[in-house]
Amino acid sequence: MKAESIVSKTEVRRAKLHVMIDQLTQLCKDASHPDDLRELLDDVMAFHDKTLEMQLQLEAALTGEERDQEAKHWVALSERTQLARREARARIRQIEGFLSDCSASSNDLGPRSNSKTSVKERLPELKMPVFSGEVLEFPAFWDRFQGCVHNRTDLDDASKFSYLLSSLSGEALTAVEGIPSSSANYPHAMELLQERFRRTDVIVREHVKAIWNAKPCSDSGASIQALTTTVIQKLE
C-alpha cells in the first residue's frame, strides 16, 4: 500500500514537471527579457530536485522489473529537463547579448547622430517567428527575416546577427550558437543556416507525403473542398 501511494504521488509530480518543461520551452520562444526565463528555469530545476527525492523513495520501495521501469521513466524525464535547461540558458545568453548590443549601439550613436537613431528607434521590437529547425517552416521564416531585418540598410551586420540569434531556438540555434557574434561572422551564419535548412528535396518529399496521407474525401462538397485546399496549400 505504501508503494502504491508513492507511485501515485510520484506520477503526479512527474506529470507536473512535464507541464513545467513545456512552459519553459514555450517561454524560450516568447521571452523578451532574461529575468522571465531565469525565474521559470529556477522553478523547474527546484521542482526537478524535489521530484528526484520522491523518485528515489519510489525506487527503494520497488523491486525487479517494476523498479527498472520506473527508473527508465525518470531517466527520460531527467534528460528532457536537462535539455530544456540548456536551451533556456542559451536563450538567456542570446537575449542578454542582444540587449547589450542594443545598448552599446545606442551609446555609440549618441544624441548628435542625425543619420541613424538608437537601435530601438531604428528597429522597433519585432514579433519575429522563432525558427526551431523544422525544415518545412524555414522558407516562411527566411522570407520574414529577410524582409524585416536582413534587407534593411540602416542596420549593421552585428545588429542583424543579434536579431538572427534572438529568432532561433532548438536545432537551428545549435547550428550557429558557436559562431562569435560579429559583423564579419553574420554572412557565415546566414550561409550555414541556408545550407542546413533550405533543403528543397526534404520540403518536396514532406509536401508529397502530406498530400498522399490526406484524408480520403467523400462525395460531399465540404470533403472535396477540404482535400482541394490541402493539395493547393502543398503545391503553392
* 115-144 pLDDT per residue, tens: 443 444 444 555 677 888 888 888 888 888
* 72-123 pLDDT per residue, tens: 989 999 999 999 998 888 888 877 776 665 555 445 444 444 444 344 444 4
Query: What's the pLDDT score for residue 177?
Result: 83
12 vs 33: which has the higher pLDDT:
12
Angle between helices 64-109 and 2-30 (to 10 degrees): 20
Q: How confident is the model at residue 201 (pLDDT cuts 50, 70, 90)?
A: confident
String of DSSP letters for 198-236: --HHHHHHHHHHHHHTSPPP-SSHHHHHHHHHHHHHHH-
Query: What's the pLDDT score for residue 13?
Result: 92
**What average pLDDT score do residues 191-206 get?**
82
Query: What's the pLDDT score for residue 117?
Result: 39
* 24-67 pLDDT per residue, tens: 998 888 777 788 888 999 999 999 999 999 888 888 888 888 88
Positive or negative: CA dihedral 160, 162, 164, 167: negative
Cell 467523400 belongs to residue: 218
Query: What's the pLDDT score for residue 4?
Result: 74
Query: Is 169:93 a contact under the CB 8 Å cutoff?
Result: no
The whole-angstrom separation of Cα 206 and Cα 199 is: 11
pTM: 0.48
113 vs 16: which has the higher pLDDT:
16
